[in-house]
Amino acid sequence: MAVKIINENCKGCELCVKACPFDAITMEHKTAVIQPGCTQCGNCIEVCKFDAIEKSEEAAQTFDREAYRCVWVFAEQREGKLMPAVAELLGEGRKLADELNTELCAVVLGHQISDLASELIGYGAEKVYIGDHQELDTYRTDAYTKVIGEAISAYKPEIVLLGATHIGRDLGPCLAVKADTGLTADCTRLEIGDEERNLHQTRPAFGGNLMATILCPHSRPQMATVRPGVMEAAVFDPQRQGTVIPLEVNFQKGDIRTKVLETVKSIKEQVSLSDADIIVSGGSGLGSGEGFALLEEFAKKLGGVVGASRAAVDAGWIDHSHLIGQTGSTVRPSIYFACGISGAIQHLAGMDGSDYIVAINKDAHAPIFQVADYGLIGDLYEIIPCIMEELDRSHE
């Protein structure tokens, strides 16, 4: 299905241009022209007074739907260790594969990484496609795109899932272009929604103010990057059995346009929000960056880590690596302390999966109290020291 302009009916009124929320209609020689950014939402059809716009089947891409089977998960590894997002992708991939009555597979690239195959099988992969080559030791876009792209062309997976990590966000679009298909980024929900085996890919849109569900009905594979911390991780079972399929890896001169000269690791302390069991987060209610010293002390006593809202990060009070929310990390700790955080929808999107939410805020009407399991109304600079005193007494 595609949106089509009936040129002889178009009067050049530009109502469709103004109605399009995606700037996907332009005027050329006083006639509307549909641009590639069109999502077929139909707004333009509704506002057109001259019946000059319609939906057409002409642009629908034909492909052999039956030729595409299996759910693939890109198993990102660094220095021979799987990233935490991989278990989450395999957990979600298992649900999709069962619903589609097909196999769950993983694809992993690197050098001397054969041991990872058994780990991936333990997390539920029935087949593991492994590309082992010295040129794949460190991630480079060209190398990974070539190997996985050729594997997709050869084995034709129905769905390909990647973590919305730095690597996944770089690799996903390149693979989609190579496979001539679409890609939905930063998904928070995936489900099979119809008899055509279309993957309904849901992600926040318009700054997190609404959720958009996106389909890719006219091409395969269906590809999505999935935000870490959102999906439930697969349970590891060392007794599982699976098949390992080596991928043929051949690089010609010019295939890889970059060379890794040196890897420099950051010397600053990094926070691991996605793995934390307890998180103490601060927002604009702290009043200044000095307030995070109190939160650091509080988190240390609890054995947790410090997070932050967008307002605190934008104010320069704490590094971006601590950001939780729509444009930061998505977390699911056992206990989440929201200190001086109002509870904007963008922040809630990143932490509402926490087992218990404790809100501390002066404003009794703050939206955060609507999702909190426990709410403390008052000055956080008075409440948190009292909690820490009680913690100290309990350990005496």
7 is an annotated ligand-binding site residue: no
d(CA 229, CA 301): 24
Query: Residue 393: what residue type?
Result: R
Per the prediction, the chain carries an average pLDDT of: 90
Q: Where are the beta strands (DSSP E) in 219-266?
A: 222-226, 243-246
Taking a C-beta distance cutoff of 8 angstroms, is the pair 309, 328 a contact?
A: no
Taking a C-beta distance cutoff of 8 angstroms, is the pair 246, 132 a contact?
A: yes
pLDDT by residue (tens digit) across 47-73? 999 999 998 755 444 578 889 999 999
The CATH label, of 3.40.50.300, 3.90.1170.30, 3.30.70.20, 3.40.50.620, for the domain at 65-246 is 3.40.50.620
CB-facing half-sphere around the CA of 214: CA atoms within 13 A: 22
Taking a C-beta distance cutoff of 8 angstroms, is the pair 62, 151 a contact?
A: no
Query: Residue 189: what residue type?
Result: R
77 is an annotated ligand-binding site residue: no
Highest CATH level, class, for 2-56 = alpha beta
340 is an annotated ligand-binding site residue: yes
101 is an annotated ligand-binding site residue: no
Pick from 5, 90, 87, 85: which is nearest to 48 by CA?
5
Taking a C-beta distance cutoff of 8 angstroms, is the pair 374, 361 a contact?
A: no
Res. 77: pLDDT tops 90: yes
344 is an annotated ligand-binding site residue: yes
Res. 220: pLDDT tops 80: yes
pLDDT at 93: 96
Pick from 39, 16, 12: which is nearest to 28 by CA?
12
pLDDT at 76: 96
Q: What contacts 248, CB < 8 A, 6 or more positions away?
A: 150
pLDDT at 65: 82
Torsion sign (Cα): 44, 48, 52, 55:
positive
pLDDT at 60: 47
Res. 207: pLDDT tops 80: no
268 falls in which pLDDT band (50, 70, 90)? low
Give the three-state DSSP class for 61.
coil
Task: Locate the domains of the chain by residue range.
Answer: 2-56, 65-246, 278-394
pLDDT at 267: 56
Taking a C-beta distance cutoff of 8 angstroms, is the pair 87, 234 a contact?
A: yes
Lowest mean pLDDT among 23-27, 116-120, 323-327: 323-327
| Main-chain phi, psi angles of 314, to 5 degrees | -60, -30
The CATH label, of 3.40.50.1220, 2.40.50.140, 3.40.190.10, 3.40.30.10, for the domain at 278-394 is 3.40.50.1220
Helix ranges restricted to H, 135-191: 141-155, 166-179
d(CA 240, CA 331): 29
Res. 260: pLDDT tops 50: yes
Q: What is the mean pLDDT of residues 155-165?
A: 95
d(CA 164, CA 5): 36
309 is an annotated ligand-binding site residue: yes
Taking a C-beta distance cutoff of 8 angstroms, is the pair 136, 144 a contact?
A: yes
The answer to whether 2-56 and 65-246 have equal CATH topology is no
Res. 275: pLDDT tops 80: no
Torsion sign (Cα): 122, 270, 381, 390:
positive
346 is an annotated ligand-binding site residue: yes
pLDDT at 384: 94
Residues recorded for the chain:
396
DSSP states along 76-101 = -EETTEE-HHHHHHHHHHHHHHHHHT
133 is an annotated ligand-binding site residue: no
pLDDT at 320: 87
pLDDT at 262: 84
281 is an annotated ligand-binding site residue: no
Q: What is the mean pLDDT of residues 79-100?
A: 94
Biggest CA pair distance of the chain: 85
Taking a C-beta distance cutoff of 8 angstroms, is the pair 120, 236 a contact?
A: no
pLDDT by residue (tens digit) across 342-387? 988 888 888 888 899 999 999 999 999 999 999 999 999 999 999 9
d(CA 227, CA 329): 8
pLDDT by residue (tens digit) across 127-141? 999 999 999 999 999
pLDDT by residue (tens digit) across 139-152? 999 999 999 999 99
244 falls in which pLDDT band (50, 70, 90)? very high
d(CA 330, CA 348): 9
Element (H, E) at 16: helix 15-19
